[in-house]
Structure 1
Amino acid sequence: MRILVTGAAGFAGSHFVRSLLAGAYRGWEGARVTALDTRPVPERHARVEAVRGDVGDPFLLRDLLPGHDAVVHFADTTRADTAELVRTNVLGTHTLLDAIRGSGVERTVVVSTADVYGPPVADDAPRTEEHPLNPVTPYATSRAAADLVARSAWHTHGVDLSVTRSAVCYGPRQQPDRPLPRLVTALLEDVRPRPYDGAAVREWLHVDDHCRAVHLVLNRGRAGETYHVGGEPVAPAALAERLRALTGTRAGGHDGAVPPRAVRAVLDDGRIREELGWAPTVPFERGLADTVDWYRDHPGWWTAARRAREAATAAA
């Protein structure tokens, strides 16, 4: 069995690769992994072939894809100008799916995000997979466009694929400029962090549960279908208070009370639960504590990652 993972140097992609190599996914024990990313892939293993390259390079993909049984497409960019977001997230997805046609790849999963539904709303009703897309930021718009490209590849060209849309993903090794690591590392440095997203109640999903859902969809998901991967709803005030306790500081990212009708961004994940038997296994309280412990124990990792990000931004 051979699988291509795009975005394999990223947060979720690298976790998926590590889990594959550890034999965590039934039916994929011993699988060989091609890890594709524009950045160096951290995993070194006899069953990993690290390929430094762009998912939007059709010539690379033409040579790379034959011989693979499956593709999991994690690659995307979140912090860039609109042109780069379109090039990587939209055109990159199109180029990959176009190259898959006729390559012999039997199954593909495109990993997306709940951001495609737009801002949280003052409504308790969870969003289903049929909820209208309403992106308002350049990133969310590029991801929504990529999802439509994927649907078209299945409907028009018969590419056997499914799409996953997940809640906010967190866990160890996430880049320190992302929302939760930014809060955690600021508190560990005893610096008052910027607030996270006002009073919106969001779902938080541990990266291990996220990747396990992707694997289930890869193995047993229906072609042309979208699957929500939900998490645990948490209000920002509750998150800030928990982080204060875990880091032993009184600095915090949210000081106001949550309104009685706080806006919510909650997914209905009944489809993946009922069809594939998925359910989260990492409670948020435990996952958050483990995540804080990891950042506390690895200051060299996140300070180096922060410096590298700042240097890349300065050079852009």
Structure 2
Amino acid sequence: MEFEPKNIIVTGGCGFIGSNFVRHVVDNHPEVHVTVLDKLTYAGNPENIAGLPADRVELVVGDICDEDLLDRIVPGHDAIVHYAAESHNDNSIADPGPFLRTNVEGTFRLLEACRRFGVRLHHVSTDEVYGDLALDDPARFTEETPYRPSSPYSSTKASSDMLVRAWARTFGVRATISNCSNNYGPYQHVEKFIPRQITNLIDGARPKLYGDGLNVRDWIHTEDHSSAVWAILTQGRIGETYLIGADGERSNIDVLRAILEAFGRGPDDFDWVRDRPGHDRRYAIDPSKLRRELGWEPAHTDFAEGLAETVAWYREHEAWWRPAKAATEYHYGSIECYISLRD
């Protein structure tokens, strides 16, 4: 039987992927009220949900580790969709502490709240928990692939996935998990790969590329991620994990050169930088289970078209990303210096 939630909490709903999910729900499911719970760290921006109807979306500023807050807001909701996470690999290498607190302790606190109040949970995770694949390996990640996380970020996400499975089996928490490939689209923080390259080019700067640029990521438009999460929340089997992907494997250098082309720049108009420690080589998602069981299909299958729309969005929304740009580049400079000194 399909689950029909009327009141949901979206943790991290002011972040990139979370806010796109909130917008997806508002646009496609008018019967659903959304409570956004967000700590509003540097990656959480209330402008991401600005303009949404106040009778449909409520913002609660707070920490998912705050047990008293969860006890106040969780009752009366049907489900929690858990996006909140520290998610930037470079930051996790420089300072793992916040990743442990948010990704592990935060998930534990939410699971306990769901257990106390009988609320369903969908836990949003990443394909990075599986480690990486060789460039010439024909295999892709499946729900049965063993976990081999490489970074402090991916190891804390792997830990949170294990907690969800344990609470589902031991305590009967009604939970599902999704592991998704790399997202792109509007509202993504400028620290991430695609928006950082786009905004550098808007500023007339030369983009930078780690290592040899051959690392492969499996890209999906964030709107497709949102529709998949809704399908899992409402139709997925309790206790199951579903992998979300759109058959979008591309090397970092190919993505960067596509962005350069969109700006009329030459294919080699960028700078190489030293590779980061433990840099995963290739990610690849097999979404067969999701498509077979729930009938989900991605709508944004033309990466070039989606990338062009994303470039246009950042050109048109400079006021949105400009306040974070200088601090991001300063931070990146510190990380790149740290990597160089470490080696």
Give the TM-score, by structure 1 length.
0.90
CA contact (8 A) 1:151 1:224 kept: yes
1:241 equivalent among 235, 244, 257: 257
Q: Mark the CA change 1:58 to 1:312 in structure 2 (over 3 Å): closer, same or farther.
A: farther
Q: Mark the CA change 1:97 to 1:17 in structure 2 (over 3 Å): closer, same or farther.
A: same
Cα distance, 1:302 vs. partner? 1.3
Which structure 2 residue ranges, 5 or more long, are not aligned?
Answer: 1-5, 273-280, 334-343
Cα distance, 1:310 vs. partner? 6.8
Q: Name 2:13's counterpart in structure 1.
A: 8
Q: Name 2:73's counterpart in structure 1.
A: 64
Q: Name 1:289's counterpart in structure 2.
A: 308
CA contact (8 A) 1:183 1:253 kept: no
Q: Kindly indicate whether residue 26 of structure 2 is the aligned counterpart of residue 21 of structure 1.
A: yes
Q: Name 1:202's counterpart in structure 2.
A: 217
d(CA) in 2 for partners of 1:155 and 1:35?
Answer: 28
Which structure 1 residue ranges, 5 or more long, are not aligned?
Answer: 256-262
User: Which residue identity is paired with 1:89?
Assistant: N
CA contact (8 A) 1:112 1:164 kept: yes
Cα distance, 1:83 vs. partner? 1.6
- After superposition, the C-alpha distances for 1:127-147 in whole angstroms (9 at most, x for unaligned) are 111101001110010000000
Q: Kindly indicate whether residue 126 of structure 2 is the aligned counterpart of residue 113 of structure 1.
A: yes
Count matched residues.
302
* Greater alpha carbon shift after TM alignment, 195-204 vs 90-99: 195-204
* Greater alpha carbon shift after TM alignment, 91-100 vs 246-255: 246-255
Cα distance, 1:97 vs. partner? 0.7
Give the TM-score, by structure 2 length.
0.83
CA contact (8 A) 1:120 1:200 kept: no
CA contact (8 A) 2:80 2:122 kept: yes
d(CA) in 2 for partners of 1:313 and 1:75?
Answer: 22
Cα distance, 1:241 vs. partner? 2.4
Q: Runs of 4 or more off by more than 3 Å in structure 1?
A: 251-255, 307-314
2:36 aligns to what SS in structure 1? strand
Cα distance, 1:307 vs. partner? 4.1
2:186 equivalent among 172, 179, 182: 172
d(CA) in 2 for partners of 1:214 and 1:54?
Answer: 22
* % same residue: 40
Q: Kindly indicate whether residue 58 of structure 2 is the aligned counterpart of residue 45 of structure 1.
A: no
1:269 equivalent among 287, 295, 307: 287
CA contact (8 A) 2:190 2:328 kept: no
2:13 aligns to what SS in structure 1? coil
Q: Supply the RMSD in Å over aligned alpha carbons.
A: 2.1
Instruction: Give the alignment of 1:83-102 within 5 angstroms.
Output: 83-102=97-116
1:36 aligns to what SS in structure 2? strand
CA contact (8 A) 2:209 2:253 kept: no
